[in-house]
Structure 1
Amino acid sequence: MPQQNIVRVILWMTGTLMSFSVMAISIRLLAGKLTVFEILAVRGFGALLILSSILLMRPGLWPALRTRRIPMHFFRSAVHFAGQYCWATALTLLPFATVFALEFTLPVWALILAVVALGEKLTTGRIVVIILGFIGCLVILRPGLIAFQPASILVLLCSFFYAVFNVATKQMTKTETTFGIVFWMNLLQFPMALAGSDPLFVLRLESWQILPIIGVGTAGLFAHYCMARAFRYGDASLVIPLDFLRVPLIALVGYLFFGESVDALVFVGAGIILAGIIWNLRQEAMDARNVALPEDEGEPEPRQLL
């Protein structure tokens, strides 16, 4: 990979990590005044404001909103909203590092769903991901021990919902544009959040909460944009290990802003999960190279060796 692309991946992943941290801090700060539904309403409004502004500045994007799959858009949006609700609630109940570490189970759920729902092959690498993901969860959760926190189940539910969301997104990209998928998701999620909100919740806000509101309204959208750009310039084998830096970074944020203690076993469990993911990425890359090799038996011609 060119050195220039590596630098770009690092810069975009820095934006991703900072955005997720801002999102977590903003949710924690707003939780005292707003319910989770109301926080998600603020997030949805901010995202719609940004996307609508882009549409006004680039009228050529309007055709991207055309769709005949509204039911699928609604299902995908509802699943993502459920995942967001679990994630935001977990941030108000658990240390940041625990939430972010357990999020790394998402690829495990995604692999299971891909095999069950999409009929994809269960390879050795994917079996390793599932096994190490399960072991990593046990290390973080420690069921049966005093350290176990029941709210951790919310994060596992969040990861499961996000995995379903990702599988649905993969199906949607066959017929829908990227901008259309993002716009419809936020448009459909906004009324979901309002349905569980106090219509006058904005009156409870104070002036010091303006920054957290801006953070919630922009950081989520910006994080996913930065992640997408990072994947454009680098392979998953580079992007995902960099994404793992979210765990120590958010642990530092939790310690500095909220006085949270750092649990070493959270890092151990997250590292085990990450090891499985990286192992599978390497196996997938090797399998892809093997498929790309000529299938003819015997010695290759000299020109094929160059």
Structure 2
Amino acid sequence: MNVFTWMLGTLLSFCLMAIGARELSGELCTAQILFFRSAIGLLAIASLIIYLAKPQYFKTQLLKRHCLRNGFQFIGQYGWFLGIGLLPLAEVFALEFTVPFWVLVIAAIFLKEQLTIKKMLAVALGLLGVVIIVQPGIAIINNASFIVLGAAVGYAVAHVATKLLTQTEHPLTIMFYMCLLQLPVGLLLSLSQWQWPNGQQLLWVLVVGFTALTANYCLARAMLCAEVSTVVTIDFLRLPAIAVVGVIFYGESFELSLLIGGGIMLVGNLLNAKGLKLRRWKKASIKD
């Protein structure tokens, strides 16, 4: 299968996961949704490791680093799912696309990665896109927008921690500990509001759990089939796609500012991806 097939799977998975989160919003608390998501993921990943006969994937020497990563990822997931119930779907997805810019800043501060002029321009374009979407000082300041932005920062820290873990840990090990560590957190935070999902709610819980896995799997496969810049470009189709879903199924209005702000962030992401490709080419040339 080619990159477009995998990205179609990614797009459908993220859209279905957002619909599932919206349907469960107000029905089950956010922490409980995340608990079920982790439970389904843990069962699927543990079964896969056992099927592959790779028991070493259950072991790690970096438990503290896994805890740090998953603490921030849980914050990111919590804010994203909470935002789904408070904001138009397109705005949540648009603000989510700021993650690459926060990664640049955090990696420069904590990993001492060089923050070049091209990277700084990419960050500036990302922040400009956020300003256009959120419209501070023009529209009524919406706290929900800042919740989603905070979620994006949480995801960015988790991505940087993931980069450190991938130096020694297998991806299945990282995913296993992600579900294992986040499951009890979701359970503890949901106990005071716990309720067993009914038939329809259970269906959406399963949708959220499985699409969370398929979205990340399809995106990873797409990365193997094409350059980062190509994947980033196709991934931005999630914005108009989820906007259409919001308009058709939830009667949401679609603001022009979302397209403009999203387009500016796309340019910034492409600029950063092009710089990444250039650096890889230079390293390859030096080796040759």
Alignment of 1:100-249 (within 5 A): 100-198=93-191, 201-203=194-196, 205-249=197-241
Alignment of 1:280 onto 2:242: no
Give the CA deviation at 1:116. Answer: 0.8
What CA distance in whole angstroms lies between the structure 2 residues aligned with 1:33 and 1:183? 28
Q: Highest CA radius of gyration, 1 or 2?
A: 1
Measured against aligned partners, the alpha-carbon deviations of 1:73-103 in whole angstroms (never above 9, x if no partner) come to 1111111001000000000000000000011
Residues 125, 284 of structure 1: 8 Å contact kept: no
Corresponding residue to 1:68 among 52, 55, 61 = 61
Measured against aligned partners, the alpha-carbon deviations of 1:40-80 in whole angstroms (never above 9, x if no partner) come to 1111111112112213322x221112111111111111110
AA of the residue aligned to 2:7: M
Residues 16, 224 of structure 1: 8 Å contact kept: yes
Cα 1:200–1:277 change in 2 (3 A) is closer
Residues 29, 190 of structure 2: 8 Å contact kept: yes
AA of the residue aligned to 2:35: A
Determine the structure 1 residue equivalent to 2:22. 28
Alignment of 1:43 onto 2:37: yes
Cα 1:270–1:201 change in 2 (3 A) is same
Identity of aligned residues (%): 38
Determine the structure 1 residue equivalent to 2:249. 257
Determine the structure 1 residue equivalent to 2:46. 52
Give the CA deviation at 1:208. Answer: 2.0
Give the CA deviation at 1:124. Answer: 2.0
What CA distance in whole angstroms lies between the structure 1 residues aligned with 2:244 and 2:17? 15
Corresponding residue to 1:11 among 2, 5, 18 = 5
AA of the residue aligned to 2:199: S
What CA distance in whole angstroms lies between the structure 2 residues aligned with 1:8 and 1:153? 36
Residues 108, 115 of structure 2: 8 Å contact kept: yes
Q: Which moves more between the two structures, 180-189 or 274-283?
A: 274-283
Residues 76, 165 of structure 1: 8 Å contact kept: yes
AA of the residue aligned to 1:146: A
Residues 255, 261 of structure 1: 8 Å contact kept: yes
What is the TM-score of this pair, normalised by structure 2? 0.95
Cα 1:91–1:294 change in 2 (3 A) is closer
What CA distance in whole angstroms lies between the structure 2 residues aligned with 1:180 and 1:57? 14
What CA distance in whole angstroms lies between the structure 2 residues aligned with 1:110 and 1:170? 11
Measured against aligned partners, the alpha-carbon deviations of 1:232-266 in whole angstroms (never above 9, x if no partner) come to 11110110000000000100111111111111101
Cα 1:293–1:32 change in 2 (3 A) is closer
What is the TM-score of this pair, normalised by structure 1? 0.90
Measured against aligned partners, the alpha-carbon deviations of 1:172-198 in whole angstroms (never above 9, x if no partner) come to 111111110100110010000000113
What is the RMSD computed on CA atoms of the aligned residues?
1.8
What CA distance in whole angstroms lies between the structure 2 residues aligned with 1:292 and 1:52? 37
Describe the SS at the equivalent of 2:139.
coil
AA of the residue aligned to 2:136: P
What CA distance in whole angstroms lies between the structure 1 residues aligned with 2:24 and 2:115? 43
AA of the residue aligned to 1:46: I
AA of the residue aligned to 1:264: L
Cα 1:291–1:221 change in 2 (3 A) is closer
Determine the structure 2 residue equivalent to 1:4. none
Describe the SS at the equivalent of 1:54.
helix
What CA distance in whole angstroms lies between the structure 1 residues aligned with 2:11 and 2:130? 22
AA of the residue aligned to 1:223: A
Cα 1:287–1:216 change in 2 (3 A) is closer
AA of the residue aligned to 1:164: V
| Uncovered stretches (5+) of structure 1, i.e. residues with no partner | 1-6, 296-303
Determine the structure 1 residue equivalent to 2:281. 289
